[in-house]
Structure 1
C-alpha cells in the first residue's frame, strides 16, 4: 500500500495552519503513546505536514511537548477564573456554587477530553516533565477549587477528610472512559448516548453533596 505523500508548499484553506495542526497531532500522540512512544515523523504525518516543520516551529521534541502543555493550560484559563470567582462569591449558598463549579469542570471535560488523557499518560513521570505537568495543568485547577471545597466542608454539604482527595475523586468521576456513553446506551438507553452527559452530571451532584447538618432532624 502506497503511503499518501506529505503535502508541501501552501496548505489548502480547509486545513489548519502547520503549527496548529502539529500541536493538535502532538497532543493526541503524547496522550495516547506517552512522551517516549510518540515520534516526530508520526506526529507530522498525522498533521499532514512535512516533518521539517516540527523543527521550524518548535525546535525539538521536548519543546513541542512543552508547547502542548502551554496549549492545554491556555484552555484552562477561562474555567479557572470562573472557579476562583465562585470561591470568592460567598454571598451565594455554597451548594449552588459547588454545583456550578462541577458544571464548569464537566463542560471542560466534555469539550477537552484530551486534557485528562494527557495528564493520565504523564502523571507518573518524575523530574522536569512531571513538575511541569503538575505545576501547569493540575495545581492551578485544584488551587482555584480548593477554597470552595473547604467552604463546603465547613457548611456540612461536603463529606471529605481533605479537599485534595475530594477534588481527585470528583475530577475522575467527571472524566469517565471515552466509551461510557456508548456502553450506557447498551445498558440503559435512557441515560446513554446524548443523554449521558446530563445524567452523569446529575448523578455526580447527588453523590458529592450531603444535606447540611443544620437541616437534619
Structure 2
C-alpha cells in the first residue's frame, strides 16, 4: 500500500482529491486483476484493494463481481472501436497501395496491443475461460475485430500478397503473435539475451509483415 504525502498509509476506502472516481478506478483495477488472475481467482476484495476503494463500492456501482466483469467488457468494447474504424477505413482506401495498407494495419495492431496491456491480458485470459465469459468475449470483442480486419486480409489474399488462403488463420496468427509483446520479450530474452524489450512490438510487427506479405501483388 502506498504512503500518503505525510508518510502515513492512506485510510482504506478513502481517495485523495486528485484520484480517479471510485467507479473508474474499480473498472481499471478489475480489468488488470481479471487479466492477471482470471474471473474466479480475482476476488472483490483484491480488486477493491488495487483500486484503493472500499469493497462495498463494487455492489454500489456494479451489483456484483459478474456485473463488474461485464462492465469491463463494455469498457474494452469502447476501447476497440477506433481500431475497428481504422481497419474498415483501410479496407475501403482505394488510393493507398494494398501492400502499404496491410503493413500499416500490422504495425497499428502491434502498437495498439503494446499500449494496452490490460486489454490484451483480459482478452487472452477470458478467451480460454468457460462459457459464458469466453462466448461473450468472442462475440463482443474478437468477432467485431475480425469482421473489420477480414475484408483487408481478403484483399491481400486475392492479390497474391498474403500466401495463406484463410483470413481467419491470418487473423489468429497476427493477434496471437502481436497480442502478448511482454511474453514475446521474455521468450526472446531467454533464448537470445540483448534484444531491447521496448522494441519488441515494433520488431514483431516488422517480422510478421516480412513473413506474411512476401507474395507478388497482381
- Shorter-chain TM-score above 0.5: yes
TM range (shorter): 0.7 to 0.9
1:82 aligns to 2:71 (yes or no): no
**For residues 71-108 of structure 1, what are the alpha-carbon distances to aligned partners after superposition, in whole Å with 9 as ceiling and x for unaligned?**
11111111110001111113322111111111221121
Tell me, in whole angstroms, the C-alpha distance in 2 between the residues paired with 1:85 and 1:172. Answer: 23
Q: Secondary structure at the match of 2:20?
A: coil
Provide the TM-score with structure 2 as the length reference. 0.87
- Cα distance change of structure 1 residues 63 and 107 upon mapping to structure 2, 3 Å threshold: same
The equivalent position to 1:202 in structure 2, one of 180, 188, 206, is: 206
- Cα distance change of structure 1 residues 105 and 53 upon mapping to structure 2, 3 Å threshold: same
Provide the TM-score with structure 1 as the length reference. 0.87
The equivalent position to 2:197 in structure 1, one of 193, 198, 206, is: 193
- For structure 1, the 5+ residue unaligned runs are none
Contact 2:22-2:53 at 8 Å conserved across structures: yes
Contact 1:31-1:118 at 8 Å conserved across structures: yes
* Counterpart position of 2:77: 73
- Cα distance change of structure 1 residues 6 and 27 upon mapping to structure 2, 3 Å threshold: farther
- For structure 2, the 5+ residue unaligned runs are 1-8
1:103 aligns to 2:107 (yes or no): yes
* Counterpart position of 1:93: 97
Contact 2:162-2:212 at 8 Å conserved across structures: yes
Aligned residues: 209
* Counterpart position of 2:139: 135
Q: Secondary structure at the match of 2:210?
A: helix
